[in-house]
Amino acid sequence: MSSDNLACPSTSDLRTQPVAALDKEGIGPAMMSIPMIACSTSLSEHHSGGSGTNKNKQMVEQLQRYGVISSKKVVEVMETIDRALFVPDGTPAYVDSPMAIGYNATISAPHMHATCLQLLEENLQPGMHALDVGSGTGYLTACFATMVGPQGRAIGVEHIPELVASSIKNIEKSAAASLLKGGSLSVHAGDGREGWPEHAPYDAIHVGAAAAEIPQPLIDQLKPGGRMVIPVGKIFQDLQVVDKNLDGSVSIRNETAVRYVPLTSRDAQLKGY
């Protein structure tokens, strides 16, 4: 479940394509249109110098200019958690594309991280509980933890034990290290399709791979008033926003067309699905 979306048109991330292109493919228009973001170059490549921290900030600023980020809080957290600490060594950290992280898994493109953080922002307030299913390298889990703070709880669930171990090391190098040490942030090996009942219910749930249908345990573990963001579908997929109403009923809407790898078992993932 650490597998992720494919962000470039060349790797079939429909979200970066114009709405008209979606119509031609018979998928229907996405409900949110984002300008095309160049995938072959770094978002900040026109700045040849500077530290990694500066380049991370430049990446975020360019996402703002593209209109991907409008939230000041999302800007703040993405500037705080340096993406370079969560990608493999030698990988261009600030390119707006998913990156392979081993085990047939990826880390999302920055624009997808930004989109999901904005969709979940109101459910990532200080003191709230968040669940990241398919936490991969730990980047988004660290962002969640930073937003909910030491009085909240951020849980990452990843079914590849090696990725759990490496993600913890990544977080230890990041601005979220104190939250990990303090216990408000943790990453666990397990089947994320079953959620993580120990710290349920959750105000926010993010799923990083496409489910054929929304797993019932995740709906059950969503708090009334909570929100889940999950890609759903097989060949054609939508990023769905699932809101649990205060009476326990569930409302679902499609946010945009996407292309993610499947939410599946550990064995199936390691075999290439």
Say which of 108, 167, 184, 186 is annotated catalytic: 108
Residue with tokens 């597998």: 3
The torsion angles phi and psi of 235, rounded to 5 degrees, stand at: -70, -50
Torsion sign across C-alpha atoms 191, 194, 200, 203: positive
Strands, E assignment, the chain: 99-102, 105-107, 129-133, 153-158, 185-189, 202-207, 222-233, 237-244, 250-258
Helix segments in 43-104, DSSP class H: 52-65, 72-80
Contact 83, 91 (CB under 8 A): no
Alpha-carbon span 12 to 108, nearest angstrom = 13
C-alpha Rg value of the chain to the nearest Å: 17
Told to judge if 108 belongs to the known catalytic residues of this protein, a careful annotator would answer yes
SS3 106: strand
From residue 126, give the alpha-carbon distance in Å to each of 107, 144, 151, 201: 25, 10, 7, 16
| Active site residues per annotation | 108
